[in-house]
Structure 1
Amino acid sequence: MTMNATSTTAPVRAGRREWTALGVLMLPLLLVSMDVSVLYFATPAINADLRPSGTQQLWIFDIYGFVLAGLLMTMGSLGDHIGRRRLLLLGAAAFGAASLLAAYANSAETLIAARAVLGIGGATLMPSTMALLRTMFTDPAQRAKAIGLWSGVMTGGIALGSVMSGILVEHFWWGSVFLVNLPAMALLLVLGPLLLPESRQPAPGRFDWPSVPLSMAAVLPVIYGLKEIPSEGWHPQYVVAITVGLLFAALFVRRQRTGTSPLIPPALLRGRGFTPALVLNLVASLGMMGSAIFTTQYLQSVLGKSPLAAALWSLLPSVFIGVAGPVTATLVQRGVNRGYVVAGGFAAMAAGYLVFVPVGTDSLWLVLVGGGVLACGMIAIMSQLTDLAMTGAAVERAGTASSLLETSAEFGGALGMAVLGSIGTALYRHEMPASAPDQARETLGGALATAAHLPGGAGETLLAAAREAFIHGMRGAALAGAVILVPAALGAAVTLRRIEAAQK
């Protein structure tokens, strides 16, 4: 059966079939989010086996995220045109085939190509899962619960990916980190046609193919520039990349406003609550990724934990996610205004940043608590904004709406790394002694590498200074993060409260 927006029936409560289907959808979503970080521990083995050049190594890491971000809007709209279940199954087949190719890649070029196809598959899976969820759960309370689960799986998968890769590489060869995708994709291909309803636009019109390269030209240069700035600084090539991306973004917006069958219909953005949800989602992602770049370095480079131990410790804050989702849904169901709930989420994220301010060079539990509070706030925000945006969007545009939310999260994450990462780096360099070697004054990682080649006393002195400088930068970035998130809390309380009141 095909669902579309012409149905006038009242919301029907989902049963066992729909909840089972949700469980099936969670598997590919978990794996797509895990693939962002799954190469974390496999890199040394890949380097020894395939011997990639420095440029090839960067592409092995980055091509997946770039292709994923660049194609989200395209795939969301394509699913609305050809059917979200059909696109989901095509994406699962592509993701599974690319995983097999990546696992047995015998050259860096093959692995890069496989990772690119994985990004294409991921771009089809992410918006399709949310769009199908929107059509399966028409009861508002059940939909809110399902979206809360979706948000938790999405967030937890990124943290789980690095741990999973560490465990697999320790016991098997590096290709095993990709083979774990195959059973889940096979299960989706078997059960998807049986459990998932097909849904698409009833009269989609022509697909706007010229907007596809325009959207990629708008997204990719900006994401690239923002991701490189924290480590490389504000070099001209990164500023030029962002500028070029913004110019293409202007052309893309113009085409959407004037085209007869646009990829992103302007009416979607004018829907009640949709644009505020996009903006607030971007700010929340900025806060979450802005903190992640510091906590990861803190666990490894300041506390000196191994990569696997650091990844395992970083899973602890994710435990809070299992509590935050149900609590948030319960508050909204009991009549607490959504605007206040989202504002509370932003306030929690700001409080999490403030927990980082007194951190020293031996403050493991303080960092974990701060990360846990941040994660709780993020889940509260993400679940409610997703529910608001998907409820406000017409069912026939559920895929497009989902892809826009995910694209805003990609931009927010890159912006958080650029803004807060640059603040932390600037403060680090300011605090480092002028007599320190140039490499050590650039980054904490550079200081660790330099200290390893210095005689005992000099190396320890340099490390102590670098760790103190990093802590200083982390504190400054934490204060900046709190300053950004507090106005977002106020804006959410005012804007979403009015929207919620108008809908009643």
Structure 2
Amino acid sequence: MRSWTGLAVLALPCLLVSLDAEVLNLAAPQLSRDLHPTGVQLLWIMDSYVFVVAGGLIAAGVLGDRIGRRRLLLAGAAGFGAASVLAAFATTPALLIAARVLMGLAGASLMPSTLALIRVMFPDARRRTIALGVWSASFSLGGVASPLVGGVLLAHFWWGSVFLIAVPAVLLLLALGPVLLPESRDRTATSFDAPGALLSLASVLLFVYGVKRVAASGLSAVPVLAVVVAAGLFVIFLRRQRRIPQPLLDLTLFRDARMTVAVGSNALSYFVLYGSQLAIAQYLQLFLGLSPLQAGLWTLPSVIAYLLASFGGPALTRFAAPGQVIAAGLATMAVGFAVLALGGLPAVVTGMVLFSIGLAPAYILSTELVVATVRPARAGMAAAVTETGCELGGALGIAILGSLVVAAYRHGTGLPGTFAESAAAAPAHDAYGGAFALMALTAAVLVAAASVLAARVLRPAGSVNSSATPTGVMDYSGRPG
């Protein structure tokens, strides 16, 4: 019972991360009127948090393995709360950007710490899968709650109030965490690769920044240079990890095809998820003529579907091997995108629901596979790997699928602008419908291919190497190992 109560405590930082990622979008107009940021400053106010979280995950995951996951979680939560207060009362754009960077550094410690603690608190594979469903659902709940909570706060208070919603949750976590959460760490670790941490932070941050800027404004010198420098730094990081005795990233993990496929499945899932979000929002509002509120309401069925599938989907492992459920989830996602390509409101809503139903078990069970593959002492590193894969996949999806929509639209119309700039013209309207369908079909093909690969690599006949499998890890026949 204590483990499940502790899981409720672990849901608090997940809610914090998802709330903060969404709620600032609502506050942007008000803070722009008060602080008068330049265009570049507003960009960093909105995106610096996401960039730093993505870049800090690997270092934070391994740091938790070294000093203790609970200790890092509580320290990160305290830092997140303090930085949130600093952001709420920022008087200049520069101060707000600095606060957002600090929030990102603190936020990077929360996700791998919670995942690693779940690995320790739930040694039984089936119970751990249920716990991961709760963990995953808490992110969705934060996303659902952010427009409502943010809207109410902004209607009655100043823009900074959206940051203060983190404070009560942080205080509750700090009060209950030491009582309900166990401490765990890698007792064999004697050092922390600080230069490697800086290399990983810089390479991922520059990569995400460059890719997002290409998606927003097209190819130009600065974002392309950022991606090139990021690639060079990452190569240096990998070479360093091969040489040192206690690396941040254990590259030998990827010799196991199941580990690679699991991380790749999650990255691809977020590639198509993030890459299609803007196109779906534009389709609902500009193509179908819905108001922002109506468009938001029509996305609720998919959110509810994800929440239900977070609990119901993993339960399918009672009847089928986890690898088969992952493959089936990916196949369901592919069907969802194929339905999405048909166009029209019923097809779009149905496609989003199917995609969400497939995403939840595929993501949860792939995450379980990654975290359970390593020994418990390295759970933080494994958790950081899968979350970093999701962040990088999402960034690439925004750039690549978003660029595909723009390119297909321009090819169909011969116009240089975006659909939002010429939506009223009939040719532009028809061309965007075709571009949207092409994007959805591309996503469907990619996820279908991943489903086939997962079915082959994660087939029940495979078995986890006994030397790398701790007690309680589920093998791929669905039985506790």
Amino acid at match of 2:313: T
User: 2 CA distance for matches of 1:46 and 1:111?
Assistant: 10
Percent identity among equivalent residues?
42
User: 2 CA distance for matches of 1:221 and 1:260?
Assistant: 27
User: 1 CA distance for matches of 2:337 and 2:387?
Assistant: 24
Amino acid at match of 1:337: A
User: 2 CA distance for matches of 1:151 and 1:132?
Assistant: 14
Q: CA deviation at 1:143?
A: 0.4
Q: CA deviation at 1:162?
A: 3.9
Q: CA deviation at 1:316?
A: 2.5
Aligned pairs for 1:362-401 within 5 A: 363-401=344-382
Cα distance per residue 1:268-326 (max 9 Å; x no partner):
44457322211121111112112212112223333444444433432331110132123
User: 2 CA distance for matches of 1:364 and 1:166?
Assistant: 26
TM-score, normalised relative to structure 1: 0.88
User: 1 CA distance for matches of 2:461 and 2:406?
Assistant: 39
Change (3 A) 1:283 1:86: same
Q: Which residue of 1 aligns with 2:469?
A: none
Query: What 5-or-longer segments of structure 1 have no aligned partner?
Result: 1-15, 435-440, 449-459
Contact preservation (8 Å) 1:339, 1:500: no
Instruction: Give the match's secondary structure for 1:58.
Output: helix
Q: Which residue of 2 aligns with 1:474?
A: 436
Change (3 A) 1:412 1:156: farther
Aligned pairs for 1:163-174 within 5 A: 163-174=148-159
Cα distance per residue 1:58-111 (max 9 Å; x no partner):
001110000100100010000000000000000110111111111122211111
Aligned pairs for 1:203-242 within 5 A: 203-242=188-227
- Aligned counterpart in structure 2 of residue 444 of structure 1, from 394, 419, 422: 419
Q: Which residue of 1 aligns with 2:32?
A: 47
User: 2 CA distance for matches of 1:180 and 1:308?
Assistant: 23
Aligned pairs for 1:395-410 within 5 A: 395-410=376-391
Alignment length (residue pairs): 466
Cα distance per residue 1:40-63 (max 9 Å; x no partner):
211111111111111111001110
Determine if the alignment matches structure 1 residue 346 to structure 2 residue 330.
yes
Aligned pairs for 1:418-437 within 5 A: 418-432=399-413, 434=415
Q: Which residue of 1 aligns with 2:445?
A: 483
Amino acid at match of 1:378: L
Contact preservation (8 Å) 2:285, 2:292: yes
Q: Which moved more, 1:483-492 or 1:30-39?
A: 30-39
Query: What 5-or-longer segments of structure 2 have no aligned partner?
Result: 465-474
Q: CA deviation at 1:201?
A: 0.6
Instruction: Give the match's secondary structure for 2:189.
Output: coil
User: 2 CA distance for matches of 1:364 and 1:231?
Assistant: 26
Aligned pairs for 1:6-17 within 5 A: 16-17=1-2
User: 1 CA distance for matches of 2:461 and 2:183?
Assistant: 31
Contact preservation (8 Å) 2:267, 2:392: yes
Q: State the 4+ residue runs in structure 1 displaced beyond 6 angstroms.
A: none
User: 2 CA distance for matches of 1:466 and 1:172?
Assistant: 41
Determine if the alignment matches structure 1 residue 126 to structure 2 residue 101.
no
Change (3 A) 1:211 1:497: same
Q: Which residue of 1 aligns with 2:20?
A: 35
Q: CA deviation at 1:501?
A: 4.2
Contact preservation (8 Å) 1:71, 1:120: yes
Aligned pairs for 1:106-145 within 5 A: 106-145=91-130
Amino acid at match of 1:386: T
Cα distance per residue 1:412-455 (max 9 Å; x no partner):
11111122111101011122355xxxxxx32123336xxxxxxx
Aligned pairs for 1:84-123 within 5 A: 84-123=69-108
Contact preservation (8 Å) 2:65, 2:377: yes
Contact preservation (8 Å) 1:227, 1:417: yes
Change (3 A) 1:315 1:176: farther
Cα distance per residue 1:334-375 (max 9 Å; x no partner):
3x122221111111111111112121xxx3332222111111
Q: Which residue of 2 aligns with 1:5?
A: none
Amino acid at match of 1:255: R
Determine if the alignment matches structure 1 residue 416 to structure 2 residue 400.
no
Q: CA deviation at 1:170?
A: 2.9
Cα distance per residue 1:364-413 (max 9 Å; x no partner):
33222211111111111111101111111110011111011100000111
Contact preservation (8 Å) 1:21, 1:195: yes
User: 1 CA distance for matches of 2:125 and 2:270?
Assistant: 25
Q: CA deviation at 1:227?
A: 1.6
